[in-house]
Chains A and B, each alone.
Chain A
Amino acid sequence: MSTKVPWNPDAPTPFDGQGWPEQLDARVVSGTRIHGYDAVRDLSRHYRFSDVVLLALTGELASDTVARAFEVALTCLAPSSVAEAPAHAGVLARVCEASASAVIATTAIGLAEQARFTVAAHGSWLASLDATSAPSPVAAADEVEPIREALAQIGVSFPTVDRASTAVEAILAIFHACGLVRPDQLESAWVMARLPVVVAEAFAAPSGRFKEYPLELPKFAYSEDQE
């Protein structure tokens, strides 16, 4: 049995005397203002929510053309099937009778991971978007053509989208053209685009119905063989 060591509340600690700041810096929001613009008296009267998202991520209000292209990209990216892990995880949280906040947090983590994975996997594509000498356009893939048409509908065309061979490449190219170039900006936009739909899929699932969930989809195979 060890001896109890008394605590000395006056003993100095390594954190003492380090000159820590006494205030927390705010860099985006001040009162009702976002990057200097009043959300209530100005933005809410003149801009869409997607404009505010782009403002939040870039620090500046975009031109109308860019803002509308961003909205096209967000909308095209929104459908995220329950076959994909974020919505599947949300449904599973719901099966476990998770609170609404836990379902939202679960799907948000899943989407953030999906975004990180996707952006990392498209590193060379994103680097090619910065290239000064752009490769020639490729024949539009089936899944890219409707996105190009949606942009054309609002009078927008980006050469980089013409080079995309998948829908994800096309959407990342639009984000990039809208000024979202850093991984944190691209991943944030990805999560914002998909979160409403993914949580909707999760909350549409019945809560606590363990027997109605396909437990064996997919199957696991346990083995005690040595790795």
Chain B
Amino acid sequence: MIPRIPTRVAALGYSEHRFRGYAVFAELTGTSYAALIALAVSGRRPTADETEALDLLAGVTTVADPRIWPLKLARLVASYGGCLAGFAASQLPLEGDRIGPPITVHAATMLVEMHQAVGGRLDDREACRAAARELVAQRRRLVGFGIPFRPADERYVALRAALVARGRTELPFWRLHEILVEVVQSDRGLPPNIGIGTAAMLLDMGHGPHEAAAIVHFINQHVFVANAFEGARDAREELRVLPASTIRYVGAPPRRSPRATVER
């Protein structure tokens, strides 16, 4: 006898369906897509303010240049004309430690640890700075800090400005993260990137590190969709096979196998 698999995701009906505790047509129709993603991952429907913040996060993370590594991967696989194949392939490398949801998990976990170290003393700036210094001293790699190819992360700058305008920078994790940013900049000279900003923002919505990471990843899917769709539609031969002149062989030199040598 196989036990039933518990799920809190959804159940089918005749004239109405359930999704995460809500009636789909009666309660969810018209909900922002970013809010649906947050509901899908966490099972909690974001408030109107949180929905606005999620929508703006989706906007500021719209960096879709097809040269960006996982987006180019979508183009390569989609070059045979399959949009979904390109899209699916572009998702798989994002479970690594350099790009994708794990970055948010690490950044959010760091802030959660800082929050625990500070306890209820969020207004004690020195206690927060001490907790930040301790975190920085413990870690060789500080996820959420450092920006390749440019002096500042324009996404972080845009997110911060939008959150300031909406009064969300007074929330606990955002305040903690700003102190961490000060300490990291003074001790390591590293500027913050979007990873630490999104982690703070999602923690302030009550999401844990893994939920935060999944939400950030899934509301950013439009950048993959755009590349997979255009890549499949245009199906460029230049991506299917590169000219020989663009390939440099650096492997083993030509050789004969032992059996061919014996035969000779």
A residues lining the B interface (CB < 8 Å): 13-15, 18, 22-30, 33, 35-38, 42-43, 45-47, 59, 61, 101-102, 105, 109, 217-225, 227
Cβ of B9 and Cβ of A15 under 8 Å apart?
no
B84 contact set on A, CB distance < 8 A: 102
B251 lies within 8 A of A36 (CB): yes
Which A residues lie within 8 Å of B250 (CB)?
25-27
Given contacts A33-B254, A219-B4, A220-B7, 4 further A-B contacts (CB under 8 A): A15-B149, A26-B247, A46-B257, A222-B7
Q: Which residues of B contact A227 (CB under 8 A)?
A: 8, 43
Residues of B within 8 A of A38 (CB): 254
The answer to whether the Cβ of B246 comes within 8 Å of any Cβ in the partner chain is yes
Q: Is the CB of A223 within 8 A of B8?
A: yes
| Residues of A close to B260: CB separation below 8 A | 42, 45-46
Q: Judge whether B256 and A37 touch: CB under 8 Å.
A: yes
Q: Per-residue CB proximity of B240-264 to A under 8 Å, as 1/0? A: 0010001111111111111110010
A223 to chain B, nearest CB (A): 6
CA distance A219 to B3 in the complex (A): 8
Contacts A109-B92, A219-B5, A223-B6 given; does A37 touch B85 at CB 8 Å: no
A residues less than 8 Å from B65 (CB atoms): 13, 15
CB atoms of A105 and B257 under 8 A apart:
no
**0/1 string, B1-25, CB within 8 A of A gives 1:** 0111111111100000010010000
Q: Does A15 contact B257, Cβ atoms closer than 8 Å?
A: no
Chain A nearest Cβ from B187, distance in angstroms: 25
Assess the A43–B4 pair: CB atoms within 8 A.
no
Count, chain B residues at interface, CB 8 A:
40
Task: Considering the complex, give the chain A residue whose CB is closest to the CB of B2.
Answer: A218
Bound complex: CA A22 to CA B251 (Å): 18
Complex CA gap A5/B231 in Å reads 26
* B251 and A30 form a contact (CB under 8 A): yes
B80 → A minimal CB distance (Å): 8
A221 to B10, CA, bound (A): 9
Q: A187 CB to closest chain B CB, in angstroms?
A: 13
Contact A18 B149 (CB under 8 A): yes
A221 and B4 within 8 A (CB): yes
Whether a CB of chain A sits under 8 angstroms from the CB of B191 is no
B141 part of interface (Cβ distance < 8 Å): no
* Beta-carbon contact of B254 and A23 below 8 Å: no
Give Cα distance in the complex from A122 to B255, angstroms: 37
Of A36, A59, A223, the contact of B7 (CB 8 Å cutoff): A223
Is the Cβ of A24 less than 8 Å from the Cβ of B251? no
Q: Which residue from A29, A105, A221 sits with its C-beta under 8 Å from B5? A: A221
Residue of A whose beta carbon sits closest to that of B20: A224
Residue picked from B256, B257, B263, most chain A C-beta under 10 Å: B257
Which residues of B in the span 53-73 have a Cβ within 8 Å of any Cβ on A?
A: 65, 67
Return B233 CB to nearest CB of chain A, in Å.
17
Cβ-defined partner of B10 (8 Å) among A13, A35, A222: A222
Instruction: Please tell me if the beta carbons of B242 and A46 are within 8 angstroms of each other in the complex.
Output: no
Q: Report if A35-B251 is in contact (Cβ < 8 Å); known contacts: A222-B9, A223-B7.
A: yes
Closest chain B CB from A104 CB (angstroms): 10
Known: A46-B263, A101-B82. Is A24-B249 also a contact (CB below 8 A)?
no
Contacts of B263 in A (CB 8 A): 46
B88 interface contact, C-beta 8 A: yes
Q: List 8 A-B contacts (CB under 8 A).
A: A14-B148, A23-B247, A25-B248, A29-B251, A30-B251, A59-B252, A221-B6, A222-B11
A101 to chain B, nearest CB (A): 7
Nearest A residue to B150 via CB reads A14
User: Whole-angstrom distance between the alpha carbons of A74 and B5 in the complex?
Assistant: 33
- Say whether, besides A18-B149, A227-B43, A46 and B259 are in contact (CB < 8 Å): yes
Closest B residue by C-beta to A59: B252
Complex contact B251–A220 (CB within 8 A): no
Least CB distance from A14 to B in Å reads 4
Q: Which of B7, B85, B247 contacts A221 (CB 8 A)?
A: B7
Structural contact, B249 and A26, CB atoms closer than 8 A: yes
| Complex contacts, B8 vs chain A, CB 8 Å | 222-225, 227
Give the shortest distance, in Å, between B31 (CB) and chain A (any CB).
18
Residues of B within 8 A of A109 (CB): 88, 92
Q: Please, which residues of chain A bring their CB within 8 A of the CB of B257?
A: 37, 42-43, 46-47, 61
Residues of chain B within 8 A (CB-CB) of A13 are 65
Is there an interface contact between A24 and B247, defined as CB atoms closer than 8 Å? yes
Q: Quick one: given A42-B257, A46-B257, A224-B18, are A27 and B5 in contact (CB under 8 Å)?
A: no
